[in-house]
């Protein structure tokens, strides 16, 4: 089987597995991204996320992360539910969880699919060495997805796709096989600044630059200390993550519905009032968020977030 046949077969199989996009790029050093990342870290825009300083060489060069790697195969998987989007975005009464965290933990869902894609590729190729990744190692997934033609990085620094908007997860296979590589897409943000204008904490400091230490998602997920009091009124009613910059993006009005039911919202996580969340016990937390991303913030972290937004929720 030649490279073209292998590429098209893997792309077709990715679609069959439920990925809305699959792109191919040549593995190598990300020179521009390395420079930007270094500056971003030096300016402290990663806040307390000190882990982002680790493995810098591997983060900007997958051939150091996976010896012998020749290619990065990027995939995207939508979690979009159009029927939920407008209602969820407009809800100012109830504490809210970011839409990406309303279904099953994407790490499990995408890894299951990627392992199946890896096995398929290995069989077609007569052998394959490499690894699969879903936001679990120093891989610059958005940069590789952009290079493989799956979209462009918007002014809010999320990857945007013309048909899927930004409501999707990314994953990769970094492997020693060679493919026909895709070309990057062009930027289609134009003069729009809606994401910048809408951010209540001014975390998008300029187009294509986010100060992670000011982001609502950082405060409610990554930060382990108390959320600074001066930011409480800017959190709105977000108790885990934030969708504001994506909710206002015009490209998300065009986004197609995701087909993976495991990523669709669990009804018990929608529309609960403040008293429900304040009274949530530890055992209930464990059951409610079993195989769910909210576990990342832990019980005490979620309780901290609920206290911080209490005065912002309409009762």
Which is catalytic among the residues 112, 135, 176, 247? 135
Phi/psi class of residue 49: alpha, beta or left (left: φ > 0; alpha: ψ in -120 to 50)?
Answer: beta
In the residue annotation, 135 being an active-site residue is answered as: yes
Between CA 304 and CA 315 the distance in angstroms is 19
- 267 phi and psi angles, rounded to 5 deg: -55, -35
Q: Report residue 252 CA to chain centroid gap.
A: 15
The answer to whether 75 touches 22, Cβ cutoff 8 Å, is yes
**DSSP states of 201-233:** T--EEETTEE-GGG-HHIIIII--SPPPGGGGG
- Positive or negative CA dihedral for 206, 209, 215, 217? positive
Pairing between β-strand 238-240 and β-strand 96-97 as defined by DSSP bridges: parallel
How many CA atoms does the CB half-sphere of 63 hold within 13 Å?
Answer: 12
Is 67 strand, coil or helix? Answer: coil
For residue 27, which of 173, 133, 126 has the smallest C-alpha distance? Answer: 173
The answer to whether 88 touches 96, Cβ cutoff 8 Å, is yes
The answer to whether 299 touches 214, Cβ cutoff 8 Å, is no
**Per-residue tokens: 179:** 């493919």
Judging by beta carbons within 10 Å of its beta carbon (0-12, 13-18, 19+), is residue 4 exposed, middle or buried?
exposed
Q: Report residue 134 CA to chain centroid gap.
A: 9
E strand spans, the chain: 21-26, 71-78, 96-97, 130-133, 152-153, 159-160, 168-175, 204-206, 209-210, 238-240
Active site residues: 135
């Amino acid at each position: 089987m030649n490279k073209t046949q292998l590429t098209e077969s893997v792309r077709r199989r990715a679609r069959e597995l439920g990925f809305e996009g699959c792109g191919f790029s040549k593995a190598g050093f990300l020179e521009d991204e390395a420079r930007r990342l270094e500056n971003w870290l030096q300016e402290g825009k990663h806040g307390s996320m000190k882990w982002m300083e680790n493995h810098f060489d591997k983060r900007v060069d997958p051939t150091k992360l996976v010896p012998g790697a020749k290619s990065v195969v990027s995939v995207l998987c939508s979690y979009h539910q159009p029927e939920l989007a407008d209602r969820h975005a407009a809800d100012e009464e109830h504490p809210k969880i970011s839409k990406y965290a309303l279904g099953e933990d994407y790490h499990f869902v995408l890894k299951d699919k990627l392992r199946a894609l890896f096995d398929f590729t290995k069989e077609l190729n007569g052998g394959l060495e490499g690894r699969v990744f879903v936001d679990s190692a120093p891989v610059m997934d958005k940069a590789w997805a952009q290079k493989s033609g799956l979209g462009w990085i918007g002014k809010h620094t999320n990857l945007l796709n013309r048909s899927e908007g930004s409501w999707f997860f990314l994953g990769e296979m970094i492997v020693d096989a060679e493919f026909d590589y895709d070309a990057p897409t062009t930027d289609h943000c134009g003069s729009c600044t809606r994401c910048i204008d809408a951010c209540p904490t001014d975390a998008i400091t300029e187009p294509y630059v986010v100060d992670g230490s000011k982001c609502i998602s950082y405060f409610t997920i990554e930060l382990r200390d108390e959320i600074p009091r001066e930011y409480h009124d800017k959190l709105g009613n977000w108790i885990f993550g934030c969708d504001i910059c994506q909710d206002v993006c015009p490209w998300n009005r065009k986004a197609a519905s995701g087909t993976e039911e495991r990523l669709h919202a669990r009804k018990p996580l929608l529309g609960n009032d403040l008293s429900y969340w304040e009274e949530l016990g530890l055992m209930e937390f464990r059951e409610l968020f079993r195989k769910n991303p909210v576990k990342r913030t832990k019980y005490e972290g979620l309780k901290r977030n609920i206290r911080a937004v209490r005065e912002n929720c309409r009762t």
